[in-house]
A and B are shown apart, each in its own frame.
Chain A
């Protein structure tokens, strides 16, 4: 089941970096032009001068050349302006999509947790206090700006708070094997992507099991890519496929907004275990 790091590197790096390279050169250029009006002005002037000098070299009369100059200047300005206008609109749309897609806590989890806290207050007020604090942290994270990538260490801390809450109601049945030492904590990831994956794993791989069935969480930095792998036990005939597919489709869409084609997600069932693997470009917070 466990993949060798080397093989992960092989299958992740080749197509993904190529795509990300092409994707980023174009995007960066466009973004730079769009961000600095001066650069835009220079671009328009450069384009105009090119057309003008070409006209002169071809011996075209100044009158005609002047017209060409004006026309091309207008066209260049319009073209760049169109890009400039289209981008913020697309960005706004992506922003709205992100807002809509960013995971909301499942009602199932919210109400069950509240119920568990209510059942804990009288016998163990301190545990109940801690649980409410953890819940506050989870909701704070949910209210955060979904557009900003966040350091992996923050996301892992959030996962641990979430797991502590699940442990309050499910007890020792919640077990996670963390394999994350090979991953730099300053790597940046989309916010609230790991926690919903974990929530899925608890819902499908822990709650239906009477015996503890550990969840395995692996994070690997493989060259310029970051691999996130989460697997859980899966019982045949588990009937909540639909919710799971929706959660994955949601994460896929968010990955596309953040990274374009440079990131991807796949999921597979093998030997009674369900594994989700996400590969994103490795970006560091330090950069």
Chain B
């Protein structure tokens, strides 16, 4: 049997050491190979982009990107590995895991429980478990630039714009390319973003106002433009979306 390829994700070094030791102890009964370790969620995503992994053992509380948020990103990978959460006692987390029917281990981890969990791994997540674990969805977007993973807090996003093959995400600090479609983004973040054009989603809380542009040649009516907080850029609203956009702004 080929050994299970495992990635250990925990910000505490002794906790990673402990998992390695337990896996070593289990080696005679269960073949595993720790392919790498990561100290937080972002590092885990970088490691997962480099190599194939069967199981990720994930701590919950970590800097930068916590365990639950990491799981949301793992679920979007083309071939998502199985995820087993490892956590110190926390009544609410444990309740959430039970409800979502995901695998979890309590710290200090026991060898028997680890073996049991590894023997029944399930790849990927159901939408139901993801939703019940993190009802607010992703809080950060991931983009890869020159092999490095960088995260963009959703709070900072001004708008998404679809251009040819890619979606550009615009923040007050700059622009990044995303590997996801506008439709996907709209269905996940519809509550926070407004469709203003066939190719554009604008953050509701970034809208500062609107004004009428100058009419194009040969047209009588000018296009409406959205003004944004933290940017001088003006976003054209399509005629089809205008009524809806206006209602959304007035309603707020």
Interface SS of chain A: helix, strand, loop or mixed? helix
Closest CB-CB distance, A117 to chain B, in whole Å? 8
Q: Is the CB of A119 within 8 A of B89?
A: no
> Which B residues are in CB contact (< 8 Å) with A169?
12-15
Instruction: Assess the A170–B12 pair: CB atoms within 8 A.
Output: yes
Check B108 for interface membership: any CB of A closer than 8 A. yes
Complex: chain B residue closest to A235, CB-CB: B63
B17 touches A123 (CB 8 A): yes
Check if A118 sits within 8 Å of B63, measured CB to CB: no
Please name all residues of chain B whose beta carbon is closer than 8 Å to the beta carbon of A47 when the two chains form the complex.
none
Chain B facing A: main interface SS: loop
State A79–B100 Cα separation when bound (angstroms): 63
Total interface residues on A, CB under 8 Å, equals 23
Interface residue A164 (Cβ < 8 Å from any Cβ of B): no
Tell me the chain A residues, 192-213 only, with Cβ under 8 Å from chain B: 207-210
Q: Is B21 an interface residue (CB 8 A)?
A: yes
B90 at the A/B interface (Cβ < 8 Å)? yes
Interface presence of B155 (CB below 8 A): yes
Q: Is residue B37 contacting chain A, with contact meaning CB distance below 8 A? A: no
A83 to chain B, nearest CB (A): 44
Q: State in angstroms the CA–CA spacing of A208 and B66 once bound together.
A: 9
CB neighbours (8 Å) of A270 from chain B are none
Whether A112 contacts B107 in the complex (CB less than 8 A), given A122-B21, A169-B12, comes out as: yes
Give B2-23 interface residues, CB cut-off 8 Å to A.
11-18, 21
1/0 per residue, CB under 8 A from A, across B79-107: the answer is: 00000000011100000000000000011
Q: Is A237 an interface residue (CB 8 A)?
A: yes
A128 and chain B: residue at smallest CB distance:
B14
Of A110, A119, A169, most buried by chain B (CB within 10 Å of CB) is A119
Q: Mark A131-162, 1 if CB is under 8 A from B, else 0.
A: 00000000000000000000000000000000
* A210 with B63, Cβ < 8 A, contacts A111-B88, A112-B12 known: yes
Interface string of B89-131 (1 = CB under 8 A from A): 1100000000000000011110000000000000000000000
Q: Contact check, B88 vs A115: say whether CB atoms are below 8 A apart.
A: yes
B192: interface (CB < 8 Å) = no
The answer to the question of B47 belonging to the interface, with a C-beta cut-off of 8 Å to chain A, is no
- Taking a contact as CB atoms closer than 8 A, the residue among B11, B14, B39, B64 that contacts A120 in the complex is B14
- Is B61 an interface residue, CB under 8 A from the partner? yes
Q: Which residues of A contact B40 (CB under 8 A)?
A: 210
Q: Is A65 an interface residue (CB 8 A)?
A: no
A8 within 8 A of B: no
Minimum-distance CB pairs A-B, first 10: A119-B14, A119-B18, A210-B63, A111-B88, A116-B14, A115-B107, A115-B108, A107-B89, A119-B17, A169-B12
B binding-site residues for A, Cβ under 8 Å: 11-18, 21, 39-40, 61, 63-64, 88-90, 106-109, 139, 155
**Given pairs A168-B14, A209-B63, 10 additional interface contacts (CB within 8 A):** A110-B89, A111-B106, A116-B12, A118-B14, A118-B108, A122-B21, A169-B13, A169-B15, A207-B63, A210-B63
